[in-house]
Amino acid sequence: MPDSAPRRRLLPLISHAGGRSRTTCRFRCGDACFHEAPNTSANEYFGDVFTAALSRRNVLRAGAVSAGASALAFGVGAAPATAAPRNPRLGFTSVAPNTADAVTVPQGYDHRVVVRWGDPVVPGAPEFDFAGQTAEAQERQFGYNCDYVSFVELDNGRGLLWVNHEYTNENIMFAGYSDGAAADLEQIRISMAAHGGSIVEIERVGRTGAWKLVTSGRRRYNRRITASTPMRLTGPAAGDALLRTAADPEGTEVLGMLNNCSGGMTPWGTVLTCEENFNQYFVGGEGAPEDVKPKLRRYGIAVQGDTRAGNRRFDRVDERFDLSKHPNEANRFGYVVEIDPLDPDYQPRKRTMLGRFKHEAANTRITADGRVAVYMGDDERFDYIYKFVSEKRYRKGSRRHNDTLLDSGTLYVAKLTGNSPAEEIDGSGALPEDGEFDGSGTWIPLCDATTSYVDGFTVAEVLVHTRLAADAVGATKMDRPEDFEASPVTGKVYCALTNNSSRTPEQADEANPRANNRYGHILEITERRNDAGATAFGWKVPVVCGDPEDPSTYFSGYDKSKVAAISSPDNLTFDASGNLWIATDGQPGTLDHNDALHAVPVEGKYRGELKTFATVPYGAECCGPFITEDQKTVFIAPQHPGEDGTVEQPQSTWPNGDFPRPSVVSIWHTRGRKIGS
Ligand code: FEO
Ligand code: CA
Ligand code: CA
């Protein structure tokens, strides 16, 4: 499928706080950056306050780490643990920064759209009809705004794509749309049906790295998950009074998932899809009970003023979104959701053991003694990094056993301490005298399945009001933790800290070293003894993002005249050589060019040599990415192309030259080389 040929005059994107466009802020985050950051706790940015919780650390099973941590038990993902080159280097020439309404790839590569918003998913679904959309059709068609992408290869040479549908841009979905209060009720139902996720069967095009949608036959795995799909609440908080509502007096079944941003895959082949900015779907906070309001506020839910203004107003078709009537309904969103793409009858599980916050992603490693660690970020200015370690061991091949792994274990939050004097971290981005932003850290336990380690909190309260529990133990305030990914070569774990323009020079610390951090940075975590079950770790900041000519940037000391500009790192993946791939969300508002997929070696003498592999269409952020196990394809998902436009005045016509459609794209080398080699 070609990129759009006809070019309409494209209006400049309006830069907003955090580097996103005005519309992204409104529709995805509910203008989060325009409200005070919800974390008003007195937690130090760094400190040495060890809580009562820490002193109990030694009783935790998860703290018992065997020596000689396995060098094989690294994270799962696309890339297998193979013999990696000592000095990996990327073999393509960077794509130049641009504002084209197209996907652009390096010389020698090609790309093809795999599946678009509105394409039929469930067999029998109608073809997309932009002017004649219905909720009944959308429930069976590919949803809106693709974010996390994962891929499972099937025995027959085909594959399954799982894709998150994070949110909807009603302004470019419906002609004449103004807001949720005025919207036609069917438009609201369509938006609800366009949220969630899709599973679609795809097939290879010839013997290339290109893939296309399977459009006929049984397609027994194809499935849509929406904002109304019944899901089971599992883990220690399931059934607690905090999760009971009039419609679900048992507190064990929820309808739908919301704002699923990034995710991860488990070693047993299931998808973890993460609910992020769920706060913006609720209204009526001003009418919630007074004792509930501080908890709502900590999650960014409005509790005073006109809480309906600017909302999608799902409450107009489903009363449960009105907190003045159903104050517990918001407690049932903000979880990691597990789905088995190979079981079409699998009821999605919201795993309460992994805590409730604005979950960005959830990626796993196996611990030295065979348990499962899940790394997670809470994407909000000044919020935290978390880790879960299961109580039980992973059993290869036992789906029934592995389906229980995420329901018991220990939930931790991270505290990071720098090793340079505080006065050397002035917020300018200047390196301290020891030449590195680095230090050590501790995983502070919050609770396990039966015991809370936070004074004044029950286990259920820790798991439902996780942000407040983490405030109480002195966790480190970070610059919006987004995706996590473990290197398949070294086991080191990387986190994208996307930006935080609210951090002041006084609030700069060694792990978040730049004030007014518009461009973001990358954190590299090395667990003690390289064991994902450890409760202590070392860390470094290998990349401080931005235009390399900006003195506040850092690329592991690599020659900055030879690296590409990058801003707002978001989704991560690795290739089999151990190169880190970084998709961005916010370059248009901070560097004045389109978002992109970059890659950078993180080991060897080319560590820091960052290159740009692909750019996405005008107004889009770059989601995915996923590199297939054979290293022949990378999937990306351009999300919200042309999002500041309207139907009448589109800012993008990608991919087909008529109206913008969020889509998944496959990219491959035309001579069959491995991606990036
Ligand atoms: Fe949906 Fe934190 O990005
Ligand atoms: Ca240092
Ligand atoms: Ca994201």
- Polymer length in residues for the chain: 677
For 346-390, the pLDDT digits (tens) are: 999 999 999 999 999 999 999 999 999 999 999 999 999 999 999
CA of 350 to the centre of ligand 2 (A): 39
In this structure, of 16-25, 128-137, 315-324, 550-559, the range with the lowest mean pLDDT score is 16-25
pLDDT band at residue 16 using 50, 70 and 90 as cut-offs: low
In this structure, of 78-87, 204-213, 430-439, 525-534, the range with the lowest mean pLDDT score is 78-87
Please state the rounded mean pLDDT for residues 219-236: 98
Ligand 2 ion: Cβ-proximal residues, 5 Å cutoff? 419-420, 432, 434, 436, 438
pLDDT at 620: 98
pLDDT at 461: 99
pLDDT band at residue 341 using 50, 70 and 90 as cut-offs: very high
Which residues, including other chains, have CB under 8 Å from residue 110's CB and lie 6 or more apart?
A: 210, 667, 668, 670
In this structure, of 41-45, 191-195, 432-436, 439-443, the range with the lowest mean pLDDT score is 41-45
For 445-497, the pLDDT digits (tens) are: 999 999 999 999 999 999 999 999 999 999 999 999 999 999 999 999 999 99
* Ligand 1 atom closest to Cα of residue 276: 1
Share of the chain above pLDDT 90, in %: 87
* Ligand 1 atom closest to Cα of residue 585: 3
Share of the chain above pLDDT 70, in %: 91
How far is it, in rounded angstroms, from Cα 537 to Cα 387?
Answer: 12
**Residue 638 near residue 571 (C-beta atoms within 8 A):** no
pLDDT at 73: 31
pLDDT band at residue 81 using 50, 70 and 90 as cut-offs: very low
Cβ 471 under 6 angstroms from ligand 1: no
* Ligand 1 atom closest to Cα of residue 259: 1
How far is it, in rounded angstroms, from Cα 54 to Cα 412?
Answer: 11
* Ligand 1 atom closest to Cα of residue 262: 1
CA of 524 to the centre of ligand 3 (A): 18
pLDDT at position 5 over 60: no
CA of 217 to the centre of ligand 1 (A): 35
Between 28 and 540, the higher pLDDT residue: 540
Spell out the domain ranges in the chain. 1-104+353-615
How far is it, in rounded angstroms, from Cα 640 to Cα 642?
Answer: 6
CA of 178 to the centre of ligand 3 (A): 26
* Three-class DSSP category at 25: helix
CA of 555 to the centre of ligand 2 (A): 15
Ligand nearest to the CA of 276: 1
* Ligand 1 atom closest to Cα of residue 358: 2
Cβ 575 under 6 angstroms from ligand 1: no
pLDDT band at residue 30 using 50, 70 and 90 as cut-offs: confident
User: What is the number of other CB atoms lying within 10 angstroms of the CB of residue 639?
Assistant: 32
Residue 15 DSSP label: B
Please state the rounded mean pLDDT for residues 612-620: 98
**Residue 590 near residue 518 (C-beta atoms within 8 A):** yes
CA of 321 to the centre of ligand 2 (A): 47
pLDDT at 83: 76
| Mean of all residue pLDDT scores within the chain | 92
How far is it, in rounded angstroms, from Cα 620 to Cα 610?
Answer: 21
Ligand 3 ion: Cβ-proximal residues, 5 Å cutoff? 261, 570
Ligand nearest to the CA of 438: 2
pLDDT at position 409 over 60: yes
**Residue 145 near residue 127 (C-beta atoms within 8 A):** no
Cβ 276 under 6 angstroms from ligand 1: yes
Residue-by-residue DSSP string for 171-223: HHHSTT---TTTS-HHHHHHHHHHSEEEEEEEEE-TTSS-EEE--SS--TT-E
pLDDT at 626: 98
Sheet holding 569-574, edge to edge: 569-574, 579-584, 596-601, 611-615
In this structure, of 79-93, 421-435, 438-452, 588-602, the range with the lowest mean pLDDT score is 79-93
Between 49 and 532, the higher pLDDT residue: 532
pTM, 2 dp: 0.92
Place of tokens 């009001």: 465
Return the ∠ at Cα 252 (arms to 246 and 255), rounded to 5°. 70
pLDDT at 44: 66
* Ligand 1 atom closest to Cα of residue 29: 1
Would you put residue 225 in left (φ > 0), alpha (ψ -120 to 50) or beta?
Answer: beta
For 208-227, the pLDDT digits (tens) are: 999 999 999 999 999 999 99
Residue 386: beta bridge partners? 376, 413
